[in-house]
Amino acid sequence: MKKNKTLSRDAVANVIFYIIAVIMIILVVYPLWFVIIASFSNPADVANGEVWLWPKKLDLSGYQELFKQRMLWTSYRNTIIYTFVGTLIGLAVNIPAGYAMSRKDLAGKKWINIFYLIPMFVSGGLIPTYFVVKSFGLLNSFWVMVLPFSVSTYNIIVARTFFKSSLPETLWEAAQIDGCGTFRYFIQFALPLSKAVLAVIGLWTAVGLWNSWFNALIYIQNENLQPLQLLLRRILIANQSLLGAATGTMAQELRQLSDMMKYASIVISTLPIMCLYPFLQKYFNQGVMIGAVKE
């Protein structure tokens, strides 16, 4: 009898947990779904609150106006290249640094930790950083988007924690007996066993680069090098300026078109990341807990 009561309590608890989980999923997914359907809906229907689960009347005016921008595909290409190259550079910089800092025999380990931690809390400031970037000849160039800010202290700490907690010291000792050096051990043993942290740091870096626009605003003047996010920002600001100068019916039409372009911009700018995430989700779930491991 007592066992049946325990089972019934567990069943009730499971039902409650499932209900909470479904509510949380709806709260997270519905805003994304609303943006998607709103981008394909008539602006008047969205403004009147008549769009809930699917478009009441199909309208592609937001996408049509965006696709009229001559620099859209160039900016899209730039963002893809920045994200791909920047992610590779980020992994090449942060993963080896995290592995080196996880080694007990690293000389000056304490001071190296301090060296990496200080910039995490104290920034040099925008103007000094600008002059540093300028002195290296990176202004208005492709490399300014992927090189100067590739080092991430947080990613290094996550990688260091992963290597310390996931790679047994006995594996390194066995490799040494077989004549394996540090570099060879890192390439042949550590990296193949680190798919989770590679996927997580790669995803974090890619998302950051994909959404980046401020660095391009400061360091890039050439329109042919601007990323997608900066172009969309300029388009939306230009629309707001036109909206402020219009009156009457024209102002209402411009406001609706501006809203449609906002929704379309969100869909266009987030679609690749949304498509990429499901393939890396299992690694992402593992990697989120890496930083929680107590050293």
pLDDT single digits (tens) 99-129:
988 888 788 888 888 888 888 888 778 888 9
Asked if 255 and 239 count as a contact pair (C-beta separation under 8 A), the reply is: no
Looking at the structure, do residues 26 and 129 belong to the same domain, yes or no? no
Mean pLDDT computed over 55-71:
80
Mean pLDDT computed over 126-143:
90
Looking at the structure, do residues 187 and 239 belong to the same domain, yes or no? yes
Token pair 């779904």: residue: 33
Looking at the structure, do residues 31 and 162 belong to the same domain, yes or no? no
DSSP, res 204: H
Cβ within 8 Å of residue 191, ≥6 positions away = 95, 198
Is the pLDDT at 274 greater than 60? The verdict is yes
- The predicted-structure confidence for 211-238, as pLDDT tens digits, reads as follows 888 999 999 988 889 998 888 888 778 7
DSSP, res 107: T
Q: Which stretches within 2-60 are classed as H helix?
A: 2-39, 43-47
Could you give the C-alpha distances from 14 to 8, 42, 277, in angstroms and in order?
Answer: 10, 42, 28
Instruction: Report DSSP letters for 137-163, one per residue.
Output: T-TTSGGGGTSTT---HHHHHHHHHHH
Token pair 């479904």: residue: 22
Is the pLDDT at 286 greater than 70? The verdict is no
- Structurally, how many domains does the chain consist of? 2
Looking at the structure, do residues 112 and 203 belong to the same domain, yes or no? yes
Looking at the structure, do residues 254 and 208 belong to the same domain, yes or no? yes
98: helix, strand or coil: helix
Looking at the structure, do residues 134 and 20 belong to the same domain, yes or no? no
Structure tokens belonging to residue 100: 């080196």
167: helix, strand or coil: coil
CATH number of 283's domain: 1.10.3720.10
Q: What is the pLDDT of residue 251?
A: 66
As to burial, measured by CB atoms within 10 angstroms (0-12 exposed, 13-18 middle, 19+ buried), residue 128 is exposed
Nearest to 267 by CA among 33, 69, 27, 26: 33
Could you give the C-alpha distances from 48 to 44, 52, 230, in angstroms and in order?
Answer: 6, 11, 30
Mean pLDDT computed over 89-94:
94
Query: Dihedral of CA 68/69/74/77: which sign?
Result: negative
Q: What is the pLDDT of residue 28?
A: 82
| Burial profile 274-293: b = 16 or more Cβ within 10 angstroms, e = fewer | eebeeebeebbebbeebeee
Is the pLDDT at 150 greater than 50? The verdict is yes
Is the pLDDT at 148 greater than 70? The verdict is yes
Looking at the structure, do residues 171 and 248 belong to the same domain, yes or no? yes
Residue 39 structural domain: 1-62
Q: Which residues pair with 58 in a beta bridge?
A: 41
- Chosen domain end from 45, 62, 79: 62
DSSP, res 52: S
